[in-house]
Amino acid sequence: MSCVKTLKEKGLKLTPQRMLIVDIIHEARGHLTAEEIIRHVQAKMPGVNKSTIYRTLDLLENYGCVYKSETGEGFIYHHSEEGHHHHLVCSKCGRTIKCDEDLFTPLKDLLEEKYNFNADFKHIVMSGLCEKCRNSN
Amino acid sequence: MSCVKTLKEKGLKLTPQRMLIVDIIHEARGHLTAEEIIRHVQAKMPGVNKSTIYRTLDLLENYGCVYKSETGEGFIYHHSEEGHHHHLVCSKCGRTIKCDEDLFTPLKDLLEEKYNFNADFKHIVMSGLCEKCRNSN
DNA sequence: ATTGTTATTGCACCTGGTTGCAATTATATC
DNA sequence: GATATAATTGCAACCAGGTGCAATAACAAT
C-alpha cells in the first residue's frame, strides 16, 4: 500500500475518507469510473461529499498513485500498480480492451520528428468498434 | 454553402437561429470552441438559448457538415470543408497545431491487426508540449 | 491530555453540456 | 393569404465535475 506511504511522506493527512478512497481503488483490479468510486465510497461512509472524492482522486493522480483517463463521457481511474496501458472502448457495446503501450511509440516518435511536439501518451482511451459489434450490422 | 442544401434536403427547417450558426461556422476558418460559438451567436441574436446552439451543432455533426472534437476540456467544432485532420494542443500555452491525418494510419492498422478493433480516428485532439514550451522550463 | 497549526472536509454554488416538455414557427398545401 | 402539421425553440431542470470559504479534524509539540 504505497499510496498511504506517499501521502504520509508529503505531510498529508490520513483522514478516514481518504483512506477509504485509497482502499477502494486499491482493491479494484482494473479501472473504475468516477461514478463507481462515488457509489462505493458512499456505501461504506454515507456522508462523504462528492467534492471530497474528486479532490482526493486529483490528489492521488498528482502524486502518481492513480492514473486518470477520460473516456469521452466521464473519467476512469486505475491504480498505478496496474501499470501504464491504454484502453480501446467500443462505442456500441461499451466493452473495454486493454491495449499495450508500445503500440503508440511509433506515432509518438513521428509527432516529435515532424512537429517537434512532445505528445502526452499516458493513458489514452480510444473509441471505435470491437470485433463483435462490427460484425453484427 | 452546402450545409443549407443538406438541411433542406433532409426536410429540416431553416430557422434564423440555425442559419446564423451555420454562417458563423462557415466564416471561421479553423476551429471554434463551443464557448466561442455561443458568444458569436448571442452577439448577433441575443435571445438564442444555449440548448438550441448545442442541438444545432449536434445536428450539423450528424449530417457531416461539421466535425466535433473534444479537447479534454470541452469541445471544438470545425467546418467539414476544412477536411479531415487532427490537432496537437499544447497543455501549457494552449497553442494548437494542425496535424496530418496520415500519421495515424499505421496505428489504426495495428489496432485492427492485433485487437480486431476498428478505431475511430476522425478528429483526434492530442495534448502534449509544443516546441517552445518544452524548451522553456 | 491540551493546545496550536494547517490540511481537509462539507457546503453551497458554479460551469458546460444535455434533456423533456409546452409553446412557437417554418414550410407545404390549399 | 389562411391553415395544418411537424420540426424547432426556449425554458427549467438536470448531470458530472469543479471551486471558494468557513467549520472541522489530523497531527505535532508541549
**Residue A124 corresponds to which cell in the numbers above?**
489514452
- State how beta strands A125-129 and B75-79 pair: unpaired
Separation between Cα atoms, residue B93 and residue B129, nearest integer Å: 8
Cell 454562417 belongs to: B23
Strands lying side by side in the sheet with A118-119: A118-119, B125-129, B86-90, B96-99
Section B123-129 average pLDDT: 85
Above 90 in pLDDT, residue B83?
no
Q: Which nucleotides of C are covered by protein (CB under 7 A)?
A: 7-12, 16-20, 25-27
What is the reported pLDDT for B25? 94
Question: What digits encode the pLDDT tens for the residues A43-91?
Answer: 999 999 999 999 999 999 999 999 999 887 889 999 988 778 888 988 8
Q: How many CB atoms lie within 10 A of CB A131?
A: 15
- Is B103 within 8 Å of A110 when comparing Cβ atoms? yes
List Cβ neighbours of B74 (8 Å cut-off, separation of 6 or more): B33, B34, B35
Fold of the B86-135 domain: Dna Ligase; domain 1 (3.30.1490)
Question: What digits encode the pLDDT tens for the residues B28-79?
Answer: 988 899 999 999 999 999 999 999 999 999 999 999 999 999 887 889 999 9
> Does the beta carbon of B117 lie under 8 angstroms from any beta carbon of chain A?
yes
How many Å apart are B96 CA and C18 C1'?
Answer: 27
Please list every residue in chain A whose beta carbon sits closer than 8 Å to the beta carbon of residue B86. Answer: none
The domain ranges of chain A are: 2-81, 86-135
pLDDT > 90 in chain A, percent: 60
**Residue A55 corresponds to which cell in the numbers above?**
479532490
Q: Does domain B2-81 have CATH number 1.10.10.10?
A: yes
Among A residues 95-114, those touching chain B with beta carbons less than 8 Å apart: 97, 99-100, 103-104, 106-107, 110-111, 114
Are B49 and B57 a contacting pair, CB within 8 Å? Answer: no
